[in-house]
């Protein structure tokens, strides 16, 4: 204390107060360095390193949180994005007038800036504009039908009153409130009498309407209003512009637009008799995808055994291969989709992600640190559409069923979805296993209640009117929704197809329609071909050190394309370096390094 006070008195007289503080701190730091042997540079380096570590951990945690959030959003068990009948407002004359006057704005993405490849999405102007409904005539008929309906019920001692009317494009629903104690089956049993009294083609009775204490009696309109694809697409909210797999379906009984997300379906079974509107529905789904997605976001596999329904899509850049018309090639293509599914799960496993959303987020974060030449492509969604399942089942029923089961059971997380359509809804085509694994169903008009039960597990489809009239049962719902499907003409399809082809040429995957034997024949090489692959020896050394081999592993390590990697894998198999294919597992390596080789390395 005495030394300190003496030093302070002398220091203040010589250096003033501020100078004394600086001298004291300088002596203190010098003493610390001399005593511990740690230099000031070392201290600064350690502090900077700790700050960098903290920042690095924060960034890593942020990336992991983003990937986890993307995976959770993908896995959310939300209901399909559709407008609910129960939440909709009743359709009245003044509401129809307001809808006609409403101005519609095209989705922002329609006219967005070009992407890196210069691809521009088609405009809604290429499609036919919405057609105004002839609602006045229907409203006049409605007033007469209400009186006749209540009169028929009174003739059978059923006390009921119409409390609400919902006018749709093709069908009008009368909500009937009955007296307490009246049996619902009593109303169901007189549907023919109601049809006779109202001079209707057929009457469908929904007893009761889900969530209500009323019974719905559906009568066909005399004037059917056409529903266009454009009026459904333009009603999709802008917040769903980033959801790529939304497709237009039609309008419900209340005249509200219906659309759904294929990703939430996740697979769809469509059935209906010839001329019921099944193929038009498939075309509407394809056009919806072409209108909202770019070729690097969604890929399509179209199977058309009838050879006339989907051939106009040849040349579209979204296609993985030309439209498949041969059932045997279709069987091969489905097997390749299963292989692609397994390859994607290998990528998810290697990257530590769970699904396509998490993997693409992982790639996006990784590409931010890479140059343009080294960037990795994101995985596109794949939608396989089969227009006629019956022809495929005739050629190879067991193999086709196995492929469909593999896809429907596992492919959702891999971003692969299946839409299957058939006009023959019999149990030998739509087997029990296929039905069990395809939860979402659409049924158009069918000939009998047996066919309706085969598709929907309930009757009702036999009473549909045809020409796009459908029952839609999304995954997780028990009650079907009646919808008037969209109509799209060949001229509209041609306009959209021509636009997409003008933006980008199709790049087909030739291996998609090749059998294992054909691929083996094309990749067979002799001894001299080994010298044509400059990295062959490096690949062999890498495979032996890893103790496993697969096409995807070589693709990731050496940045090869699929054909080049498959060629090297087949060559190593011929040389006896690796074993044969073992399902989805990597191939076994049959060659080991000698001890001398390991010592040298």
10-53 per-position pLDDT tens digit: 777 777 777 777 877 787 778 777 777 777 777 778 888 888 87
Q: Give, as one character, the DSSP assignment of residue 109.
A: G
CB atoms within 10 A of CB 120: 17
Antiparallel, parallel or unpaired: β 246-252 and 257-261: antiparallel
Q: How far is CA 156 from CA 152, 189, 203, 211, in A?
A: 7, 11, 17, 27
Task: State the Cα–Cα distance between residues 228 and 450, nearest whole angstrom.
Answer: 31
Q: Given this model, what pLDDT does residue 350 score?
A: 86
Burial of 342 (0-12, 13-18, 19+ CB in 10 A): middle
- Identify which of 342, 324, 341 has the alpha carbon closest to the alpha carbon of residue 333: 324
Of 221-225, 405-409, 538-542, the one with minimum mean pLDDT is 221-225
Q: What is the pLDDT of residues 366-382, one digit of tens each?
A: 888 888 777 888 899 99
SS3 labels along 223-272: CCCCCEHHHHHCCCCHHHCCCCCEEEEEEECCCCEEEEEHHHCCCEEEEC
Burial of 145 (0-12, 13-18, 19+ CB in 10 A): buried
Has residue 84 got a pLDDT over 80?
Answer: no
Kindly report the CATH number that applies to the domain delimited by 514-600. Answer: 1.10.10.10
Task: State the Cα–Cα distance between residues 262 and 266, nearest whole angstrom.
Answer: 5
Is domain 237-351+379-502 in CATH 3.40.50.300, yes or no? Answer: yes
Cβ–Cβ < 8 Å for 117, 296: yes
Contacts of 124 (CB under 8 A, 6+ apart): 106, 107, 110, 230, 233, 234, 291
Contacts of 381 (CB under 8 A, 6+ apart): 244, 245, 263, 297, 298, 299, 356, 415, 416, 417
Contacts of 90 (CB under 8 A, 6+ apart): 164, 165, 166, 254
Cβ–Cβ < 8 Å for 304, 310: yes
- Per cent of the chain over pLDDT 70 is 83
Q: Given this model, what pLDDT does residue 75 score?
A: 56
Cβ–Cβ < 8 Å for 29, 40: yes
Q: How far is CA 431 from CA 9, 311, 451, in A?
A: 102, 28, 13
Q: Can you give the pTM of this predicted structure?
A: 0.70
Q: Where are the domains of the chain?
A: 2-75, 135-220, 237-351+379-502, 514-600
Q: What is the pLDDT of residues 216-265, one digit of tens each?
A: 888 888 878 889 999 899 888 888 888 889 999 999 888 889 999 998 88
Find the Cα–Cα–Cα–Cα dihedral 23, 25, 29, 35, rounded to 10°.
Answer: 90
Q: ∠156-465-217 over CA atoms, to 5°?
A: 30
Of 143 and 337, the one with more pLDDT: 337
> Residue 133: helix, strand or coil by DSSP?
coil
Q: Given this model, what pLDDT does residue 507 score?
A: 87
Task: State the Cα–Cα distance between residues 72 and 357, nearest whole angstrom.
Answer: 9
Q: Give, as one character, the DSSP assignment of residue 159.
A: -
Q: What is the pLDDT of residues 511-533, one digit of tens each?
A: 887 766 665 555 554 444 444 66
For domain 135-220, the CATH class is alpha beta
Q: What is the pLDDT of residues 156-208, one digit of tens each?
A: 888 888 888 888 888 888 888 888 888 888 888 888 888 888 887 778 888 78
Cβ–Cβ < 8 Å for 296, 271: no
> Residue 276: helix, strand or coil by DSSP?
coil
């Amino acid at each position: 204390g005495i030394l300190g006070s003496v030093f302070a008195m002398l220091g203040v007289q010589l250096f003033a107060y501020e100078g004394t503080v600086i001298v004291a701190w300088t002596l203190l730091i010098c003493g610390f360095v001399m005593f511990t042997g740690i230099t000031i540079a070392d201290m600064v380096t350690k502090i900077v390193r700790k700050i960098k570590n903290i920042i690095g951990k924060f960034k890593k945690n942020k990336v992991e949180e983003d990937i986890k959030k993307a995976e959770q959003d993908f896995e959310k068990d939300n209901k399909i994005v559709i407008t609910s009948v129960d939440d909709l407002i009743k359709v009245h004359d003044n509401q129809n007038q307001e809808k006609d006057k409403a101005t519609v704005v095209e989705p922002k993405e329609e006219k967005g800036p070009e992407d890196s490849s210069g691809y521009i999405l088609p405009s809604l102007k290429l499609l036919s504009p919405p057609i105004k409904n002839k609602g006045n005539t229907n409203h006049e008929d409605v007033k007469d039908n209400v009186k006749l309906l209540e009169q028929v019920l009174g003739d059978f001692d059923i006390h009921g009153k119409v409390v609400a009317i919902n006018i749709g494009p093709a069908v009008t629903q009368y909500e009937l409130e009955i007296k307490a104690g009246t049996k619902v089956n009593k109303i169901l049993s007189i549907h023919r009498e109601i049809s006779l009294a109202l001079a209707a083609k057929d009457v469908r009775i929904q007893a009761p309407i889900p969530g209500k204490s009323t019974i719905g009696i559906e009568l066909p309109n005399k004037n059917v209003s056409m529903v266009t694809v454009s009026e459904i697409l333009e009603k999709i909210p802008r917040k769903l512009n980033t959801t790529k797999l939304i497709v237009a379906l039609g309008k419900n009984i209340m005249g509200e637009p219906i659309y759904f997300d294929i990703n939430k379906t996740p697979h769809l079974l469509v059935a209906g008799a010839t001329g019921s509107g099944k193929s038009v529905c498939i075309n509407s789904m394809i056009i919806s995808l072409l209108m909202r997605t770019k070729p690097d976001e969604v890929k399509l596999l179209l199977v058309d055994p009838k050879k006339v329904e989907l051939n106009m899509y040849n040349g579209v850049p979204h296609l993985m291969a030309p439209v498949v018309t041969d059932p045997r090639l279709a069987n091969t293509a489905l097997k390749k989709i299963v292989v692609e599914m397994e390859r994607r799960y290998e990528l998810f496993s290697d990257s530590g992600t769970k699904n396509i959303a998490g993997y693409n987020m992982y790639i996006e974060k990784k590409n931010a640190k890479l140059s343009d030449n080294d960037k990795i492509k994101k995985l596109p969604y794949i939608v396989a559409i089969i227009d006629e399942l019956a022809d495929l089942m005739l050629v190879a029923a067991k193999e086709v069923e196995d492929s469909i089961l593999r896809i429907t059971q596992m492919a959702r997380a891999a971003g692969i979805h299946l839409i299957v359509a058939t006009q023959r809804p019999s149990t030998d085509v739509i087997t029990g296993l296929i039905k069990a694994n395809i939860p979402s169903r659409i049924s158009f008009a069918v000939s009998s209640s047996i066919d309706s039960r085969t598709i929907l597990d309930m009757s009702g489809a036999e009473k549909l009117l045809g020409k796009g009239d459908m029952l839609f049962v999304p995954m997780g719902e028990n009650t079907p929704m009646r919808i008037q499907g969209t109509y799209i003409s060949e001229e509209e399809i041609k306009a959209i197809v021509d636009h997409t082809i003008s933006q980008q040429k199709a790049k087909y995957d030739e291996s998609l329609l090749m059998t294992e034997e054909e691929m083996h024949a094309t990749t067979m090489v002799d001894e001299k071909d080994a010298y044509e692959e400059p990295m062959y020896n490096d690949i062999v050394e890498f495979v032996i050190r890893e103790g496993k081999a697969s096409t995807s592993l070589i693709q990731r390590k050496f940045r090869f394309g699929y054909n080049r990697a498959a060629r090297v894998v087949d060559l190593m198999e011929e040389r006896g370096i690796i074993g044969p294919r073992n399902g989805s597992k990597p191939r076994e390596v049959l060659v080991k390094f000698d001890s001398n080789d390991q010592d040298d390395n």
